[in-house]
């Protein structure tokens, strides 16, 4: 009964305007409700689970507050290499599904990175969404006719990343796949990575994940429940066109042959400048911009410049026009303070 009262209070407070400055409980402060069947991310049931799910310990690098961290000595040059005049943008890409503790585990054939993948079998349900489902498809005149099964089977032959994310809240486990596809013989993927959401343990040094930096994706997604609650309490992931042949904590992998020190490393952390005015933006965008000031964003992959990941949730309004008002020049690269010790 106590947990029900607390949950009700959290929801009630989260609905109040953030201008009131009221305290709202953070995700992970209580145990997620038990689920008995796979739940898609774009549902109230998923919101309830995610709002109480521990997504890594409080001292995890994704949850470091970096507003006071020193500026990188080559910050201006790195920002220029990414694109000072290029706009901030978001991809409605990273969908996920929540599964119960007894979700049947199935084999997934690993094609490209079996030696850097965590072994299966994996709790992949029939309704696992592929990257972009459903919004990126429903908002496209050419793709809106596709069913989830069509997308899982890649009937259009898209040469895309096709990330897929499965979360087991009861076990605190995260399963992420790169280029997941359903075939008549079963599931196949290029890579599979498993993360313990209760631990700060990284991928083995030198290993990739479903992101080129060796990082998890799920902890970095902008989710509907966060925007509704009025707080994102973690860093975001960002893609940039070119990276250096280097990585920095918490990344474990690079994906480049370039050695120019003006290019960002995988895992490089960027922060929205403290003097950037966020009051003129919509509540949803203010939540994102505040997180970028407080927690920043980590370079996670090669791709479009200044692109953060957002759940492809139909309940999230389109944010393109607002986000494009923020330019690369509004960001700076930061480094940990001299006394920083990575959490164990």
Q: What is the pLDDT along the chain (344 residues), one digit of tens a residue?
A: 434 433 333 333 333 333 322 223 344 545 778 899 999 999 999 999 999 999 999 999 999 999 999 999 999 999 999 999 999 999 999 999 999 999 999 999 999 999 999 999 999 999 999 999 999 999 999 999 999 999 999 999 989 999 999 999 999 999 999 999 999 999 999 999 999 999 999 999 999 999 999 999 999 999 999 999 999 999 999 999 999 999 999 999 999 999 999 999 999 999 999 999 999 999 999 999 999 999 999 999 999 999 999 999 999 999 999 999 999 999 999 999 999 999 98
Q: How far apart are CA 270 and CA 293, in angstroms?
A: 9
Asked if residue 134 lies in contact with residue 63, where contact means CB atoms within 8 angstroms, the answer is no
- Tokens representing 219 are 């902890």
Q: What is the pLDDT of residue 13?
A: 37
Q: How far apart are CA 153 and CA 333, in angstroms?
A: 40
CA nearest neighbour of 299 among 256, 343, 259, 340? 256
Q: What is the pLDDT of residue 151?
A: 98
Pairing relationship of beta strands 236-240 and 297-302 according to DSSP bridges: parallel
The proportion of the chain whose per-residue pLDDT surpasses 70, expressed as a percent, equals 91
Q: How far apart are CA 262 and CA 82, in angstroms?
A: 9
Strand pairing partners for 308?
Answer: 90, 238
Q: What is the pLDDT of residue 1?
A: 40
Q: How far apart are CA 29 and CA 52, in angstroms?
A: 6
pLDDT, tens digit, for every residue of 295-337? Answer: 999 999 999 999 999 999 999 999 999 999 999 999 999 999 9
| Integer angstrom CA distances of residue 93 from 142, 217, 283 | 17, 11, 21
Q: What is the pLDDT of residue 32?
A: 76
Torsion of CA 239, 60, 129, 266, to 10 degrees: 20
Helices (H), the chain: 2-14, 44-50, 75-82, 135-138, 148-152, 224-229, 283-294, 320-323
Q: What is the pLDDT of residue 30?
A: 58
Q: What is the pLDDT of residue 344?
A: 86
Q: For residue 283, what are the contacts with CB-CB under 8 A and spacing of at least 6?
A: 17, 18, 227, 230
Q: How far apart are CA 264 and CA 255, in angstroms?
A: 12
User: Hey, which bits of the chain come out as E strands?
Assistant: 39-40, 89-92, 97-98, 108-110, 164-168, 173-178, 181-183, 186-189, 191-196, 236-240, 269-272, 297-302, 307-310, 331-334
Q: How far apart are CA 53 and CA 34, in angstroms?
A: 11
Q: How far apart are CA 33 and CA 46, in angstroms?
A: 10
CA nearest neighbour of 163 among 174, 175, 179, 152? 179
Where b means 16+ CB within 10 Å and e means fewer, 42-76 reads beeebbbbbbbbbbbeeebbbbbebeebeebebbe
């Amino acid at each position: 009964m106590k947990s029900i009262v607390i949950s009700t209070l959290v929801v009630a407070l989260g609905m109040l305007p953030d201008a009131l400055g009221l305290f709202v409980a953070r995700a992970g402060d209580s145990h997620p409700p038990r689920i008995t069947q796979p739940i898609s991310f774009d549902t109230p049931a998923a919101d309830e689970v995610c709002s109480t799910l521990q997504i890594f310990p409080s001292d995890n690098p994704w949850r470091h507050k970096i507003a006071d961290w020193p500026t990188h000595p080559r910050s201006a040059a790195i920002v220029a290499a990414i694109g000072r005049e290029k706009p901030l943008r978001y991809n409605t890409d990273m969908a996920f599904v929540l599964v119960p503790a007894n979700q049947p585990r199935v084999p997934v054939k690993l094609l490209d990175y079996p030696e850097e993948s965590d072994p299966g079998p994996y709790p992949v349900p029939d309704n696992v969404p592929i990257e972009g489902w459903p919004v990126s498809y429903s908002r496209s005149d050419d793709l809106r006719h596709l069913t989830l099964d069509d997308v899982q089977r890649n009937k259009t032959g898209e040469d895309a990343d096709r990330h897929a994310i499965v979360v087991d809240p009861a076990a605190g486990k995260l399963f992420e796949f790169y280029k997941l596809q359903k075939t008549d013989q079963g599931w196949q993927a290029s890579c599979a990575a498993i993360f313990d959401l209760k631990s700060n343990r990284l991928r083995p040094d030198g290993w990739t994940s479903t992101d080129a930096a060796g990082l998890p994706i799920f902890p970095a997604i902008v989710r509907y429940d966060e925007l509704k609650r009025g707080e994102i309490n973690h860093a975001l992931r960002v893609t940039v066109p070119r990276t250096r042949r280097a990585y920095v904590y918490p990344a474990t992998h690079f994906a480049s042959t370039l050695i120019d020190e003006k290019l960002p490393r995988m895992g490089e952390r960027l922060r929205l400048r403290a003097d950037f005015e966020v009051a003129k933006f919509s509540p949803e965008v203010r939540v994102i911009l505040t997180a970028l000031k407080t927690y920043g964003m980590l370079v996670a992959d090669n791709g479009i410049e200044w692109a953060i990941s957002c759940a492809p949730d139909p309940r999230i309004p389109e944010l393109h026009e607002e986000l494009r008002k923020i330019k690369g020049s509004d960001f700076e690269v930061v480094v940990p303070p001299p006394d920083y010790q990575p959490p164990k």
